Structure 1
Amino acid sequence: MISLFTVSFLGALDHTVVATSLATIAGDLGAVQQMSWVIVSYTLASTVVLPVLGKLADLTGARLIFLASLVLFLIASLLCGFAQDMTQLALARIAQGVGSAGLHLMPQTIIGEVTSPRQRPRVLSIIGAAFPVAILIGPLAGGLITDAWGWRWVFWINIPVGLVALALAVVAVPHIAGRSGRRFDIAGAISLGVTVTSLVLAAGWASGGASASGSAVIVAALVAILGLAAFIAIELRVDEPLVPLRHFANRTVLITIVLSTVIGVGLFSVVSYVPTYIQMAYRTSATVSGLVPIATVFGMLVSTLLTGWLSSRSGRYRVFPIFGTATAAVGLLVMALLPAGMPLWVPMVAMALVGIGTGSFMNIIVAVAQSAAARTDTGSVTATLSLVRQVGSTTATAVVGGLIGAGVTAGLPAALATLTPQAVREAPDAVQLQVADLYSSVLAPIFVGLAIVYALGVVAAVLLPDGRLSDEFEQHTRDAAEAAIA
Structure 2
Amino acid sequence: MPLTPLRLRLLVISLLTVSLLGALDHTIVATSLATVAGDLGALGQMSWIVVGYTLASTVLLPVLGKLGDMVGPRWVFLTSLAVFLLASLVCGFAQDMAQLIVARIVQGMSSAGLQLMSQTIVAQVTTPRERPRYLAIIGAAFPIAILIGPVLGGVITDYWGWSWVFWINIPFGLAALGLALVAIPHIEPGGRRRFDYAGSIAFTAALVALVLAVTWVGSIGMGAASVVAFALSAIAFAAFFLIELRTDEPIVPLRLFRSRTVSAGIALSAIIGVGLFSVTAYLPTYFQMAYRTSATVSGLVPIATVFGMLVANLATGWLVSRTGRYRVYPIIGTALAAAGLSAMSLLPVGAPLWVPMILMAVVGVGTGAFMSLVIAVVQSAAPRRETGAITATINLVRQVGSTVATAVIGGVIAVGVAAGLPGGLDASTLTPQSVHAASPALQAQVADLYGGVLAPVFAALAIVYALGIVAAVLLPVGRLSDEHDSQPAPTASTEPLTA
Which interval holds the TM-score relative to the shorter structure? Answer: over 0.9
1:55 matched to which residue of 2?
66
Contact kept? 2:137, 2:314, Cα under 8 Å = yes
Check whether the contact 2:384–2:485 (CA below 8 A) recurs between aligned residues.
no
Deviations 1:308-360 (A, max 9, x none): 11111110111111011110111111111111111110010011011100000
- Given the alignment of the two structures, is residue 383 of structure 1 paired with residue 398 of structure 2, yes or no? no
Quote the residue 1:254 is aligned against: 263
Is it true that 1:146 corresponds to 2:157 in the alignment?
yes
Deviations 1:252-295 (A, max 9, x none): 10111111110000001100000000111111000000000000
Query: Which of residues 414, 418, 429 in structure 2 aligns to 1:409?
Result: 418
Between the two proteins, the alignment pairs up a number of residues equal to 474
- Name the residue aligned to 1:209: 219
What CA distance in whole angstroms lies between the structure 1 residues aligned with 2:464 and 2:486?
40
**What's the secondary structure of 1:242's corresponding residue?**
coil
The answer to whether the 8 A contact 1:315-1:468 is kept is: yes
- Match of 2:438? 427
Which residue identity is paired with 2:361? Answer: A
**Structure 1 residue 183, shift from structure 2 partner:** 1.3
SS at match of 1:342: coil
In the TM superposition, 1:219-234 aligns within 5 A as: 219-234=228-243
Distance apart, 1:475 and its partner CA:
9.7
Deviations 1:417-447 (A, max 9, x none): 5411110111111111111111100000000
Cα distance in structure 2, aligned partners of 1:185 and 1:249: 21
The answer to whether residue 358 in structure 2 is matched with residue 330 in structure 1 is no
Output the CA distance in 2 between the equivalents of 1:174 and 1:470.
Answer: 22
Give the aligned partner of residue 375 of structure 2: 366
Distance 2:319 2:485 in 1: 18
* Structure-2 residue corresponding to 1:480: none
2:478 counterpart of 1:443? no
**Whole-Å Cα distance in 2 between the matches of residues 302 and 59 of structure 1?**
36
Tell me the distance in 1 between the aligned counterparts of 2:236 and 2:283. 34
Which whole-Å CA distance do the structure 1 matches of 2:432 and 2:94 have between them?
Answer: 33
In the alignment, which residue of structure 2 is the partner of 1:484? none
Residue number in structure 2 paired with 1:28: 39
Once residues 486 and 131 of structure 2 are traced to their aligned partners in structure 1, the CA distance between those partners, rounded to angstroms, is: 14
8 Å contact from structure 1 (residues 416, 423) kept in 2: no
CA distance in 1, matches of 2:284, 2:485: 45
Unaligned runs of 5+ in 1: 477-486
SS in 2 for 1:11: helix
1:88 pairs with one of 82, 88, 99: 99
Which region of structure 1 is more displaced relative to structure 2, 241-250 or 45-54? 241-250
- Please state whether the residue corresponding to 2:250 is helix, strand or coil: coil
- How far the C-alpha of 1:179 sits from its partner, in A, is 2.4
Match of 1:483 in 2: none
**How far apart, CA to CA, are the structure 2 residues paired with 1:474 and 1:247?**
18
Structure 1 position 304 matched with structure 2 position 304: no
Instruction: Give the Å deviation of 1:191.
Output: 0.8
State the one-letter code of the partner of 2:419: A
Alignment match, 1:72? 83
Question: Match for 1:315: what amino acid?
Answer: G
- Find the counterpart in structure 2 of residue 295 from structure 1: 304
Q: CA deviation at 1:227?
A: 1.0
Whole-angstrom distance in 2 between the partners of 1:413 and 1:311: 53
Taking the aligned partners of 1:111 and 1:144, their CA distance within structure 2 comes to: 34
Q: SS at the partner of 1:472? A: coil
473, 478, 483: which is aligned to 1:467? 478
Q: State the one-letter code of the partner of 1:190.
A: I
For 1:228 and 1:441, the matched residues in 2 are separated by 36
Q: Spell out, residue by residue over 1:365-389, the C-alpha distance to the aligned partner (whole angstroms, 9 max, x if none).
A: 0010001111111001100000000
Aligned to 2:55: 44
Contact 1:209 1:402 in 2 (8 A): no
Q: Does the CA contact (< 8 Å) of 2:308 and 2:362 recur in 1? A: yes
Paired residue for 1:482?
none
The letter for the 2-side match of 1:189 is S
Change (3 A) 1:475 1:196: closer
Instruction: Please state how far the C-alpha of 1:139 moved relative to its aligned partner.
Output: 0.3
Conservation of the 8 A alpha-carbon contact between 2:256 and 2:262: yes
**Corresponding position: 1:273 with 2:282:** yes
The alignment's C-alpha RMSD in Å is 1.2
Give the corresponding residue for 1:479.
Answer: none
- Contact map agreement 2:132 2:376 (CA 8 A) in 1: yes
Q: Which residue of 2 aligns with 1:170?
A: 181
Q: Any idea what SS the aligned residue of 2:480 has? A: coil
Could you tell me whether the CA contact under 8 Å between 2:327 and 2:472 is conserved in 1?
yes
Rounded Cα–Cα distance in structure 2 between residues aligned with 1:14 and 1:209: 26
- Given that residues 28 and 153 in structure 2 are in contact (C-alpha distance below 8 angstroms), is that contact kept between their aligned partners in structure 1? yes
1:210-249 CA-to-partner distances (Å, cap 9, x unmatched) read: 2x21121111111111111211221222221111111221
Structure 2 length-normalised TM: 0.93
Deviation string 1:57-103 (CA, Å, 9 cap, x unpaired) is: 01100110000110110011111111111111110000000011111
Partners of 1:121 and 1:363 within 8 A in 2: yes
Deviation at 1:173, TM superposition (A): 1.1
Q: 1:475 to 1:372 in 2, by over 3 A?
A: closer
Give, as a single letter, the amino acid of the residue that structure 2 aligns with 1:464. L
Aligned to 2:6: none
Partner of 1:283, secondary structure, is coil
* Structure 1 stretch displaced more, 193-202 or 52-61: 193-202
Using the alignment, how far apart are the partners of 2:229 and 2:67 within structure 1? 28
Higher mean displacement: 271-280 or 408-417? 408-417
Tell me what 1:186 maps to.
197
Matched residue SS, 2:246:
coil
2:456 & 2:102 partners in 1: Cα distance?
Answer: 39
Q: Which runs of 5+ in 2 are unaligned?
A: 1-11, 488-499
From 404, 407, 411, the counterpart of 1:395: 404
Tell me, yes or no, if structure 1 residue 349 matches structure 2 residue 353: no
Farther-moved stretch of structure 1 (239-248 vs 440-449): 239-248
Q: Name the amino acid aligned to 2:358.
A: V
Partners in 2 of 1:222 and 1:413 — Cα distance? 36
2:411, 2:356 → 1: CA distance? 23
